[in-house]
Amino acid sequence: MTVVIKHSTDKASMDRLLETLPKLNRFDAAKFCGVLALRVSPLSIQKVMRDEWK
């Protein structure tokens, strides 16, 4: 959906326009925070990835 906002539109009417838009389900990255279980330290993984092209 496209909403055209003119330069002369005030903030209150912009907020009303934005509230009429349908709410989308967004990806919640916070629920995956700390889930990755690593067997090796992140620093050693980074060193291997950087030295990969040598």
Q: What is the pLDDT of residues 1-54, one digit of tens each?
A: 677 888 898 999 988 888 888 888 888 888 888 777 889 998 999 998 898 776
Dihedral of the CA atoms 23, 25, 29, 31 (nearest 10)?
A: 110
In a domain, 20, yes or no: yes
In a domain, 36, yes or no: yes
Are 18 and 25 in contact by the 8 Å Cβ rule? The answer is: no
Q: Write down the pLDDT at residue 41.
A: 92
CA 7, 12, 18, 28 torsion: positive or negative? positive
Find the domain containing 45 and state its range. 11-53
In a domain, 1, yes or no: no
How many separate domains does the chain show? 1
In a domain, 46, yes or no: yes
Are 17 and 3 in contact by the 8 Å Cβ rule? The answer is: yes
Q: Write down the pLDDT at residue 44.
A: 92
pTM of the predicted protein model: 0.37
In a domain, 4, yes or no: no
Q: Write down the pLDDT at residue 12.
A: 93
Q: Write down the pLDDT at residue 43.
A: 93
